[in-house]
């Protein structure tokens, strides 16, 4: 069955153009100024609407065990929330425990995801240890379509030391691989936490106070010097602040290739969220690194505008307010993470594009085109072009509304953006030629496919 999207404004990383888009089965077969439909072609009139490539969220944590609990969203509810937010492909972090093999981690993540996803999906592989077996297994990961990896410089259960980080990066260089790194200085954070506890302090505000921006910047700087030693590009995931961006700028000046990801929570919220007197309210915003100051928001938007930040993902890691209660008596036990996969695109359109902080083209690049390139899915994903998967978002710029948790399909039971005004809205979402969300209604079952990925093209 052919479908013609007629009369819309097609958005790409280069800009916008009026064009018709013809889809046959799962693929886009033609993009032209005007296309005349054949008799049996289904025609969708999208005059006055924006047509964007299905968004990619390259940073989710679904069905993840953290701090003695499991994320509220599994792959069924998380992928459903993603689709509602216009995200047609997610890349989740497969996370074997220390001592487990990468193969085991991959099998486990397939078990969690296969047959449950309503959107397409792939995995990054977390490396939290280094030994000869893991080194060998990295080759197997490429064979399984896993071309990106993750390391943590914090969290005792997952963190990796400088020596191991160097060795991992050396191996990845040999493979032409890419790695995202969570950058925070673990040792000094531990010391600051111990000081707070010794002083008998336990408010939610202790969370940002013990994880200050300079300790993220320090870790970014250290990672980049290790990457310089190996001579490999790296990705800084969920970057939050101006000082950390300065470290990237310095590395780029030295000639290094560095990719940066940020997230909506760091672009539209500030650290006043942690100073609300009610524990439940403040705890909803606990994530690491923490939400920073308004000046940092400004620096991040400028970084996006100037192309210094390449991707906006969500770090969707959802816990209900009841789960956050685990940390009522000890702020370090509040499960870290916020929901975001359902609200990302509308927030970025509203608070980025319509306020002229970034262009529509930059929105398209950071939500679709760049992650597709960086994570080896381009041009199958991330672009409206002949031969690409027909993953499409129809955005109605006139459908203004507000964000409310009660309208969400994700399982967190709250959103960090309650009551936020939204300009326009997602009207329809198409996944590989199937209409999957129409005005907020899910129309399909778990048709999500595992997407094996190739090498970085960004």
Specify the stretch interacting with Zn ion by CB under 5 A; choose among 6-14, 115-123, 265-273, 311-319: 311-319
Peptide bond into 330 cis (omega under 30): no
Q: Give me the residue whose beta carbon is nearest to Zn ion.
A: 182
The answer to whether residue 288 forms part of the interface with ligand URP (CB under 6 A) is yes
State which of residues 6, 49, 61, 207 lies at the interface with ligand URP (CB under 6 A): 61
Is 336 a binding residue for ligand URP by CB under 6 A? The answer is yes
Q: In the bound complex, what is the minimum distance in angstroms from residue 335's beta carbon to ligand URP?
A: 8
Binding residue (CB under 6 A) for ligand URP from 54, 78, 303, 337: 337
Least distance between Zn ion and beta carbon 181 (Å): 9
Residue span 315-334 as binding mask against Zn ion, x where in contact by CB under 5 A, dash where not: x-------------------
3-state secondary structure at position 59: strand
Instruction: Return the number of the residue (237 or 364) whose C-beta is nearest ligand URP.
Output: 237
Of 181-189, 361-369, 399-407, 428-436, the window that binds Zn ion (rule: CB under 5 A) is 181-189
Minimum CB distance to Zn ion smaller for 92 or for 369: 92
Instruction: Tell me if 455 sits within 8 A of 176, measured CB to CB.
Output: yes
344 binds, among ligand URP, Zn ion, none (CB under 5 to 8 A by kind): none
Asked if residue 92 binds ligand URP (CB under 6 A), the reply is no
Partner interacting with residue 287 (select from Zn ion, ligand URP, none; CB below 5-8 Å by kind):
ligand URP
Other CB atoms within a 10 A radius of the CB of residue 40 amount to 7
DSSP H or E segment with residue 109: helix 102-113
Choice between 290 and 382, CB closer to ligand URP? 290
**Does 315 participate in binding ligand URP (rule CB under 6 A)?**
yes
Map tokens 């408010």 to a residue: 203
Contact positions with ligand URP (CB under 6 A) in 155-194: 182
Smallest separation, CB 1 to Zn ion (Å): 39
Strand stretches in 137-239, DSSP E? 148-152, 178-182, 234-236
Question: Which residue of 11, 35, 94, 287 would you call a contact of ligand URP, by CB under 6 A?
Answer: 287
CB nearer Zn ion, residue 46 or residue 243: 243
Shortest distance, position 228 Cβ to ligand URP, whole Å:
24
Q: In angstroms, what is the minimal distance from the CB of 407 to ligand URP?
A: 24
Which position has the token pair 């609990």? 69
- Distance, in Å, from the CA atom of 340 to the CA atom of 243, rounded to the nearest integer, reads 24
Nearer to ligand URP by Cβ, of 287 and 393: the residue is 287
Partner in contact with 458, chosen from Zn ion, ligand URP, none, beta carbon below 5 to 8 Å by kind: none
Nearest-approach distance from CB 109 to Zn ion, in angstroms:
14
Q: How far is the CB of 61 from ligand URP (least distance, A)?
A: 5
Q: What are phi and psi of 72, to 5 degrees?
A: -65, -35
336 binds, among ligand URP, Zn ion, none (CB under 5 to 8 A by kind): ligand URP
337 interface partner picked from Zn ion, ligand URP, none, CB below 5 to 8 A per type: ligand URP
Among 119, 291, 317, 415, binds ligand URP (CB under 6 A): 317
Q: Count residues contacting ligand URP (CB under 6 A)?
A: 8
Tell me which H or E stretch contains 361.
Answer: helix 360-364
* Residue 52 or 153 having the CB closest to ligand URP: 153
Least distance between Zn ion and beta carbon 317 (Å):
6
Nearer to ligand URP, 188 or 399 (CB): 188
119 Cβ neighbours under 8 A, 6+ residues apart: 79, 82, 83, 87, 88, 89, 90, 431, 436, 448
Please identify, using beta-carbon distances, which residue of 342 and 391 lies nearer to ligand URP.
342
Whose Cβ is closer to ligand URP: residue 315's or residue 342's? 315
Residue placing its CB nearer to ligand URP in the complex, 65 or 162: 65
Binding residues vs ligand URP (CB under 6 A): 61, 182, 287-288, 315, 317, 336-337
Binding residues vs Zn ion (CB under 5 A): 182, 315
């Amino acid at each position: 069955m052919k479908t013609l999207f007629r009369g819309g404004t097609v958005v790409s990383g280069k800009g916008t153009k009026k064009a018709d888009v013809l889809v046959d089965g799962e693929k886009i077969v033609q993009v032209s100024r005007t296309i005349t439909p054949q008799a049996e072609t289904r025609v969708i009139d999208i005059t006055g609407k924006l047509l964007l490539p299905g968004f990619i969220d390259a940073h989710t944590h679904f069905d993840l065990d953290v701090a003695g609990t499991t994320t509220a969203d599994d792959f069924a509810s998380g992928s459903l929330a993603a689709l509602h937010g216009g995200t047609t492909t997610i890349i989740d972090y497969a996370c074997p425990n220390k001592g487990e093999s990468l193969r085991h981690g991959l099998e486990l993540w397939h078990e969690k995801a296969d047959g449950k996803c309503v959107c397409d999906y792939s995995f990054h592989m977390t490396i939290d240890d280094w030994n000869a077996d893991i080194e060998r297994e990295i080759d197997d990961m490429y064979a399984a379509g896993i071309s990106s990896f993750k390391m943590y410089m914090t969290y005792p259960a997952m963190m990796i030391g400088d020596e191991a980080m160097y060795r991992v990066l050396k191996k990845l260089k040999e493979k032409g691989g890419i790695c995202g790194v969570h950058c925070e200085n673990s040792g000094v954070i531990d010391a600051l936490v111990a000081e707070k506890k010794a002083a008998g302090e336990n408010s939610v505000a202790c969370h940002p106070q013990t994880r200050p921006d300079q300790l993220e910047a320090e870790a970014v700087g250290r990672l980049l010097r290790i990457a310089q030693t190996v001579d490999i590009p790296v990705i800084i995931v969920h970057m939050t602040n101006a000082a950390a961006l300065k470290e990237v700028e310095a590395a780029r000046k030295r000639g290094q290739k560095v990719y940066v990801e940020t997230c909506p929570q760091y672009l539209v919220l500030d650290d006043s969220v942690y100073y609300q007197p009610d524990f439940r309210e403040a705890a909803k915003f606990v994530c690491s690194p923490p939400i920073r100051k308004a000046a940092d928001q400004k620096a991040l938007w400028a970084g996006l505008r100037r192309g210094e930040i390449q991707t906006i993902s969500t770090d969707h890691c959802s816990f209900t307010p009841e789960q956050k209660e685990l940390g009522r008596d000890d702020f370090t036990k509040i499960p870290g993470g916020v929901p975001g996969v359902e609200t990302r695109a509308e927030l970025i359109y509203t608070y980025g594009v319509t306020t002229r902080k970034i262009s529509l083209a930059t929105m398209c690049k950071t939500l679709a085109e760049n992650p597709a390139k960086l994570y080896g899915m381009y041009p199958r994903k991330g672009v409206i072009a002949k031969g690409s998967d027909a993953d499409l978002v129809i955005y109605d710029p006139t459908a203004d509304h507000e964000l409310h948790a009660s309208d969400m399909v994700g399982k967190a039971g709250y959103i960090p953006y309650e009551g936020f005004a939204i300009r326009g809205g997602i009207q329809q979402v198409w996944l590989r030629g199937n209409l999957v969300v129409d005005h907020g209604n899910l129309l399909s079952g778990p048709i999500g496919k595992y997407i094996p990925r190739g090498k970085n093209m960004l």
